[in-house]
Amino acid sequence: MPDTNTREITFAEAVREALAEEMRRDARVFILGEDVAEAGTPFKVLSGLVEEFGTKRVVDTPISEAGFTGLAVGAAMTGLRPVVDIMFGDFITLTMDQMANQAAKVHYMSGGKWRVPMVMRTTLGAARRSAAQHSQSLHAWFSHVPGLKVVLPSTPYDAKGLLKTAIRDENPVVFFEDKMMFKMKGPVPAEEYTIPLGVADVKREGDDITLVATSSMVQVALGAAGLLEEIGVSAEVIDPRTTWPLDEKTLVDSVKKTSRAIVIDEGYGRYGVTAEIAAVIAEGAFHYLDAPVKRMGAMHVPIPFSPPLEDVTLPTERSVFDVARALCNRS
Amino acid sequence: MSTVTGQPNPKAKTKLSPDAATWLRMYRQMLAIRLFEEQVNELYTRALMPGLAHLYVGEEAVAVGVCEALQNDDYITSTHRGHGHCLAKGASPNRMFAALLGKEAGYCKGKGGSMHIADPATGNLGANAIVAGSVGIATGAAFSSKYRGTTQVAVCFFGEGALGQGVLYEEMNMAQLWKLPVIYVCENNSYTEYTHCSETTAGDMAARATAFGVHAETVDGQDVRAVHDVTAKLVERARRGDGPAFLLCNTYRHHGHHVGDISREYYRSKQEERLWATERDPIKLLSNWLVANKHADAATLDKVHAELKSEMQKAVEFAIAAPYPSADKASEDVYA
Ligand SMILES: Cc1ncc(C[n+]2csc(CCOP(=O)(O)OP(=O)(O)O)c2C)c(N)n1
């Protein structure tokens, strides 16, 4: 990270800066979504953008997720670079045909002739006491579809650099933001930078166990690594940052070094991101493993409302610590 | 993408009163589609064509009447029953047949097939095998043309079956709110796959558009002159900035839902089919009119027929002889 002029800004500010910079750089970039203009979204992530770029480029839509996502596909094919805002990740279900059957397929079905350079920004994550339809982490759904790329930033620095790259990408990219993270601060350089898609980041180096963690779970894994250190276990924390493209090499190399791995992701484990990454590690580092690869994700239930119920559905620093300790045969 | 320049097209003026040469060209276009589809039927029956084919026979006046009112850099989106739209927008029969047979030389290099012909050079954003699947794409292309300050119009073709899809109404709402230059062309051939529209569609079809304030017209889809005239007006309107339109074209498919749908009496009568194939056939209607008004004589029309027949025959031969893509191409073009 270039450290000249590095400031502390929030995750939301980092997202907003990325958008503003790309909109200044490229007149084809525009934002489309519900309450994105004057309201700046319910999370205020986009506050101020309409003042700078006007309503031609920050477009409030009706509550028509399929409709404006489909419109973005056509706009992207014909020379624009839409950034679609889906207020809650739970609502991506409404856009599935537009993303999975249209955006993801256009380039391939046309023999490489049409392109869909669009970004969908949306959220993931529970813990806001929002119940089952405002708390899901559904990024695995899009990660399953060839033709889409999926980005999961876990820090303000990553959010800014990855979003700028996503906007410049020639393909449909889905960008998931943890809504619990919007107010989290972190160092972000004032100068321009971008981060390539498909490059994992080692958030903490260690020798005894690899914790692969995404998005909201990166902080959880770092917390667990701190607890593990107290009992003499050195944990490496790796954030793949994109589920597709997936930096398989960095993950496998880490486990070759540590011989143990836990994969932690806020989506459902079954048929999910953790399953895929665990398989990649098992295939790539089989002979180096001293224990089966463990997976931790949301409990396999709709996310409940009541705090004592919701809290047990998510991996925590403590639960990751416990699993890691058992895996390392420490008591 | 040479035609999609993002610059205003100075020639983008629609011909409002076509001359005899234009009607003759439309005759040729309609007949080309008819003969193309007859070859497809033949290819399928001879088991030379993989997959399914949804023939456009009987509906030619819609594609031709509409596309004749467009410029090359205007956009269209098409459907599973899309061969007619693609040809009318300028696709070459050689590459179309090659596409249908899954050959490398086809549009889409063997990746798309019959239901996914796409061609940037003629503004064809792609045929779509999801019913109503392209209403967003067409509306987005219109959004883009307005954003970029061009005069390009987007035409979205779909069957009346698409009226059952909610996303269509989301798009019409936005198109009207934002005055987008998009024309929704509903080809009402009365049947979805095997079900009459009266069993699937409540109320008045065109009223679904007018509910949003979208300008709607209904036209005899077998009369290419009527389709062309009304489309030309709608295109003018859209280029002027007056917003979207909905064009309901009443038409009929002569064949089954797809080539294999041959026993159809459980959903429609032979008598009804005969009527549409004779008195209501769009090509016969135009040729009768051309001859009656002395724009062409029977010999001229016969000559056109013979020329097209040989052209289609050659195109089929080209496609049959063309090589398949090599298997290693399967993993290309997933990402740009
Ligand atoms: C979303 C979706 N549902 C179902 C189908 C299967 N299907 C293919 S064509 C068709 C009927 C379409 O009828 P219509 O839109 O009127 O077009 P037509 O075939 O009459 O030209 C159906 C149900 C599909 N392709 N897409």
Pick from A99, A108, A145 the residue to mutate for testing the B interface (most B CBs within 10 Å): A108
Q: Please report residues of B whose CB lies closer than 8 A to that of A147.
A: 334-335
Q: Does B120 touch chain A (CB under 8 A)?
A: yes
Q: Do A69 and B136 touch (CB under 8 A)?
A: yes
Between the CA of residue B22 and those of A253, B69, B90, what are the distances in Å? Answer: 68, 11, 15
In a domain, B119, yes or no: yes
Please check whether residue B2 lies inside any domain of the structure.
no
How many residues are given for chain B? 336
Instruction: Please give the structure tokens belonging to residue A153.
Output: 């930033």
CA distance A184 to B98: 56
Question: A80 vs B147: CB contact, 8 Å cut-off?
Answer: yes
Summarize pLDDT for B157-172 with one digit per residue, the tens. Answer: 999 999 999 999 999 9
Q: B137 to chain A: which residues are within 8 Å by CB?
A: 70, 73-74, 77, 102, 106
Pair of tokens at residue A212: 């692969």
Which residues fall within 8 angstroms of residue B11, CB to CB, at 6 or more apart?
B71
| Interface contact B197, partner A, CB < 8 A | no
Question: How far is it, in rounded angstroms, from Cα A217 to Cα A264?
Answer: 6
Output the residue whose Cα is nearest ligand 1's atom 9.
B193
Q: How far apart are CA A11 and CA A47, in angstroms?
A: 13
Token couple for A44: 């205020």
pLDDT higher than threshold 80 for residue A2: no
Structure ipTM: 0.95
What is the C-alpha separation between A84 and A114, in angstroms, rounded?
A: 19
A98 in reach of chain B (CB within 8 A): yes
Q: Is the model's pLDDT at B8 over the cut of 90?
A: no
Residue B212 reports pLDDT greater than 60: yes
Q: Percentages helix, strand, coil for chain A, rounded to the nearest 5?
A: 40, 20, 40
B117 CA to centre of ligand 1 in angstroms:
17
**Confidence grade of residue B19 (pLDDT, cut at 50, 70, 90):** confident
Nearest residue (CA) to ligand 1, atom 13? B192
What tokens does B148 get? 């970029």
Whether chain A has a CB inside 8 Å of the CB on B319: the answer is no
The whole-angstrom separation of Cα A281 and Cα A261 is 8
Residue B272 forms contact with A (CB below 8 Å): no
- Asked if pLDDT for residue B13 goes beyond 70, the answer is no
8 Å CB contact of B107 and A97? no
Strands A149-151 and A242-244: antiparallel
Distance between CA atoms of A306 and A294, rounded to whole angstroms?
A: 28
Domain ranges of chain A: 9-189, 201-327
Q: Mean pLDDT, to the nearest integer, of B291-309?
A: 96
Please tell me the CATH code under which domain A201-327 is placed: 3.40.50.920
Closest CA to B278 of B252, B250, B304: B252
Question: What is the rounded distance in angstroms from the CA atom of residue B131 to the CA atom of residue B210?
Answer: 22
Q: How many whole angstroms separate alpha carbon A309 and alpha carbon A91?
A: 23
Lowest mean pLDDT among A134-143, B9-18, B28-37, B324-333: B9-18
Number of domains in chain B: 1
Q: Is the Cβ atom of B191 under 6 angstroms away from ligand 1? A: yes
What's the domain range around B32?
20-322
Chain B: give the shortest CA distance to residue A118, in Å. Answer: 12
Q: pLDDT of B99-140, one tens digit each?
A: 999 999 999 999 999 999 999 999 999 999 999 999 999 999
Average pLDDT over residues A245-250: 98
pLDDT range class, residue B291, cuts 50, 70, 90:
very high
Q: Residue A71 is nearest to which of B106, B107, B143, comparing CB atoms?
A: B143
Rg (CA), chain B: 19
Tell me the per-residue pLDDT of B32-42, one tens digit each, with 9 for 90 and over.
Answer: 999 999 999 99
Smallest CA–CA distance from A115 into chain B, residue: B336
Residue A198 makes CB contacts below 8 A (sequence gap 6+) with: A242, A245, A246, A247
Q: Which CATH number fits the domain that encloses residue B253? A: 3.40.50.970
DSSP strands (E only) in chain A: 6-10, 29-33, 58-60, 81-85, 119-124, 149-151, 173-178, 185-189, 201-204, 209-213, 235-239, 242-244, 261-268, 294-298
Residue range A156-185, pLDDT digits in tens: 999 999 999 999 999 999 999 999 999 999
What integer pLDDT is reported at residue A127 of this predicted model?
A: 84
- pLDDT bin (cut points 50, 70, 90) of residue B145 is very high
| CA nearest neighbour of A244 among A156, A169, A318 | A169
Please indicate whether residue B81, judged by its CB atom, sits closer than 6 Å to ligand 1: yes
Which residue, chain included where needed, has tokens 């079954």? Answer: A270
Residue A211: predicted pLDDT: 98
Residue A284 C-alpha, separation from nearest chain B C-alpha, in angstroms = 22
- Residue A91's pLDDT band (boundaries 50, 70, 90)? very high
Residues A9-189, CATH architecture: 3-Layer(aba) Sandwich (3.40)
Question: Torsion angle, CA of B230/B233/B239/B243, rounded to 10 degrees?
Answer: -70
User: Measuring from atom 6 of ligand 1, which residue has the nearest CA?
Assistant: B131
The whole-angstrom separation of Cα B234 and Cα A272 is 49
Of all protein residues, whose CA lies closest to atom 23 belonging to ligand 1? B193
Neighbours of A208 (CB within 10 A): 20
Would you call B133 an interface residue with chain A, using a CB distance cutoff of 8 Å? yes
Q: Judge whether A70 is closer than 8 Å to chain B, CB to CB.
A: yes
Q: Name every residue whose Cβ is closer than 8 Å to that of residue A325 and which is 6 or more positions away in sequence.
A: A228, A231, A233, A331
How far is B161 from A261, CA to CA, in rounded Å?
51
Q: A59 forms bridges with which residues in the sheet?
A: A32
Instruction: Give CA–CA dist A310/B239, Å, rounded.
Output: 54
Instruction: Give pTM, 2 decimals.
Output: 0.95
The residue to mutate among B59, B193, B259, having the most atoms of ligand 1 within 8 angstroms of its beta carbon, is B193
Structure tokens at B52: 């399914």
Exposed/middle/buried for residue A162 (C-beta within 10 Å: 0-12, 13-18, 19+): buried
CATH topology identical between A9-189 and A201-327: yes
Best mutation target, A56, A71, A98, A144, to test chain B (most B CBs within 10 A)? A71
Is residue B304 situated within a structural domain? yes
For residue B7, being part of any structural domain is answered with no
Which helix (H) or strand (E) element contains residue A156?
helix A156-168
Q: In the annotation, is A134 catalytic? A: yes
Contact A242, A198 (CB under 8 A): yes
Q: Among positive and negative, which fits the CA dihedral A17, A20, A24, A28?
A: positive
Q: Are A217 and A40 in contact (CB under 8 A)?
A: no
Q: Check residue B5 and give its pLDDT.
A: 40
In angstroms, the CA B211 to CA A254 distance is 60
**What pLDDT is recorded for position A3?**
58
Ligand 1 pocket, B160 CB below 6 A? yes
- Which atom of ligand 1 lies nearest, measured to the CA of B197? 16
**pLDDT tier at B10 (50, 70, 90 boundaries)?**
very low
B6·A79 Cβ contact <8 A: yes
Mutate to test the interface with A, among B139, B143, B173 (most CBs of A within 10 A): B143
pLDDT of residue B30: 98
In this prediction, residues A304-322 reach a mean pLDDT of 97
Cβ(B57) to ligand 1 under 6 A?
no
For residue B305, what are its two tokens?
């027929």
Residues A147, B334: C-beta atoms closer than 8 Å: yes
- Residue A204, token pair as written in the block: 């903490």
Closest residue to atom 19 of ligand 1, CA basis: B192
Q: Which atom belonging to ligand 1 lies closest to the Cα atom of B129?
A: 25
Give residue-wise pLDDT tens across range A188-203.
Answer: 999 999 999 999 999 9
The alpha carbon of residue B297 is apart from the nearest alpha carbon of chain A, in Å, by 41
